[in-house]
Each structure stands twice: as C-alpha cells, then as structure tokens.
Amino acid sequence: MLDSNCIFCKIIQREIPSFKLIETDHSYSFLDISPISVGHSLVIPKYHAQKLHEIPDEYLTDLMVTVKKVALKLKVENYNILQNNGELAGQEVNHVHFHIIPKTDDGSGLSYKFKHLEEDSFNLDEIQSSFNR
C-alpha cells in the first residue's frame, strides 16, 4: 500500500530520483539528500504508514535486516540508528523511516543530549501494569 501524495512513496515508485543503496521486496534504502554525515542513509518500508506500530510485521522484519546491511556496507565503526514517530518526536516525513547516521572522529553525525526525568515524576508500577493487561 503506497500513498500517491507521499514523497517517500514517490521515491519507491521512481517518480522522484534517489541514490539507491539496497532494495528488497519490502524495503528501499537510499542516501539522505540533506546528510549530517558522509553516508547518512535512509531505509523505508514499501508500505505507507506514519508510525512504526502501523507497519505489518513482515515489513518490519525486512526493514531491520536492511538497516543492518546498510550499516555494514557503510563500513563505519560508530553510527546511530534513528527512527521518529510523530511530529512531536521529530518526524518530518509522514512515512516510517530509519536513519543510519555514521559518527566520525571529525564530530559529524548525530548530536543529542538526553534530559532525564526526576524519579518522582512517574510511576514505574503504573507503566509495568499496562504490559500485564
């Protein structure tokens, strides 16, 4: 299932050019057009959905295998895998995608700093109980 209005679906259908790396029956990978490091790549499912939990399992399995293959082919020792779900999480294209971002000695690549929550700002038992329902 593809969406004719989605830029990534258009890339899959070859309506928009890309620098293809690996293609399978369920996944397509290509170089990012606005890389933050050399080799910055994307892996997308050939199934249109905005969020990871909306993707059928057979596509997810293939996505992760393809992410691994791209990471190995890049031949970099350090890299980040980034996948955002929703605008608040930083998702800019509403089609599931994984970034493979090489991290190099020159400092290029993904930079981030986690903001940790205070211990009393959440209830661990409440979170755990949602998994037991």
b/e string for 25-62 if b means 16 or more Cβ within 10 A?
ebbbbbebeebebebbbbbbbbbbbbeeeebeeebbeb
Residue 1 lies in a domain: no
Query: What confidence score (pLDDT) does residue 93 get?
Result: 94
pLDDT at 82 over 80: yes
Residue 4 vs residue 105, higher pLDDT: 4
Provide the mean pLDDT of the chain: 90
Domain that holds residue 91: 7-129
In a domain, residue 81? The reply is yes
Tell which phi-psi region holds residue 120, choosing left (phi > 0), alpha (psi between -120 and 50) or beta.
alpha
Total structural domains within the chain: 1
Residue 111 has pLDDT above 80, yes or no: no
List the catalytic residue out of 95, 97, 99, 116.
97
Q: Which amino acid does the sequence have at 26? A: H
Which residue has 């992760």 as its token pair? 64
Give the residue-averaged pLDDT of 86-92: 90
* pTM score of the predicted model: 0.86
Domain CATH number, residue 117: 3.30.428.10
**Domain assignment present for 2:** no
What is the SS3 assignment for 41?
A: strand
Cβ–Cβ under 8 Å, residues 76 and 35? no
Catalytic, 97? Answer yes
- pLDDT, residue 119, reads 74
- Residue 130 or 26, more confident: 26
Chain segment 18-66, per-residue pLDDT in tens = 999 999 999 999 999 999 899 999 999 999 999 999 999 999 999 999 9
